[in-house]
Chain A
């Protein structure tokens, strides 16, 4: 079974600074997808960024980037130039192939606070 662990229940950052959210996962699969989702107070789950395991290059979406370390099974999210609108709960998620294809396994979430 796959597991996803987010070891930081809460993080905070000053506006315009950089913050990194941690995520580790455990799987025996070799081909899979990893995601970060954002859930603001509106509760809408928003896809932030996507990484395919077979790609060595780290994914980037504007101010959001990941540090994907496949051997270490680590998938951290870096938010640069933090904005007040980045304040939300962030979930790391994993999608493997095989019999569980299509299912997402979520981490527990990290609450990010952005201070003005």
Chain B
């Protein structure tokens, strides 16, 4: 089976531009998570969904960040407008409620100049 798929793998954009990150979870998984990883703050959970419904978005840093999951096989994380401090690696992960472990995508390295 294919793992979690993320696109793009790398994104370089200028401050003020809109950025959209995409994720396709493992088929059949009922949880989807968005994380951000930086050297300073480590791995942070931004938001997670259960059966396409957002459960906890308390980790979303500010209103510039938004996430959607229109169906079981697709999710987006949008940053509008982007700022240099948003530069990080963004991971998507999915899991089955009965198993507990999460499977991560390869990540998107975002650079905002």
A70: interface (CB < 8 Å): no
A35: interface (CB < 8 Å): yes
One of B31, B50, B104 near A44 (C-beta < 8 A): B104
Mask: chain B, 45-72; 1 = CB below 8 Å from A; 0 = not = 1001010000110000000000000000
Closest 9 CB pairs of A and B: A33-B100, A45-B104, A95-B100, A102-B31, A106-B43, A43-B107, A50-B101, A44-B106, A47-B101
Give Cα A42–Cα B95 distance, bound, in whole angstroms.
22
Instruction: Count CB-based A-B contacts (< 8 Å).
Output: 47
> How large, as a class, is the contact surface on chain B?
20 to 34
Contacting B at CB under 8 A, from A86-116, are 91, 95, 101-104, 106, 108-109
Mask: chain B, 71-110; 1 = CB below 8 Å from A; 0 = not = 0000000000000000001010101010011111011010
Whether the pair B43, A102 counts as a contact (CB closer than 8 A) is: no
Give Cα A104–Cα B45 distance, bound, in whole angstroms.
8
Q: List chain B positions with a Cβ less than 8 A from chain A.
A: 31, 33, 37, 42-43, 45, 48, 50, 55-56, 89, 91, 93, 95, 97, 100-104, 106-107, 109
When distances are taken between beta carbons in the complex, the residues of chain B under 8 Å from A108 are 42
Whether the pair B50, A102 counts as a contact (CB closer than 8 A) is: yes
Whether the pair A91, B43 counts as a contact (CB closer than 8 A) is: yes
Which residue of B is nearest A44, CB measured? B106
When distances are taken between beta carbons in the complex, the residues of chain A under 8 Å from B45 are 103-104
Whether the pair B95, A47 counts as a contact (CB closer than 8 A) is: no
Whether the pair B93, A45 counts as a contact (CB closer than 8 A) is: yes
Give Cα A50–Cα B99 distance, bound, in whole angstroms.
10
Give Cα A85–Cα B45 distance, bound, in whole angstroms.
28
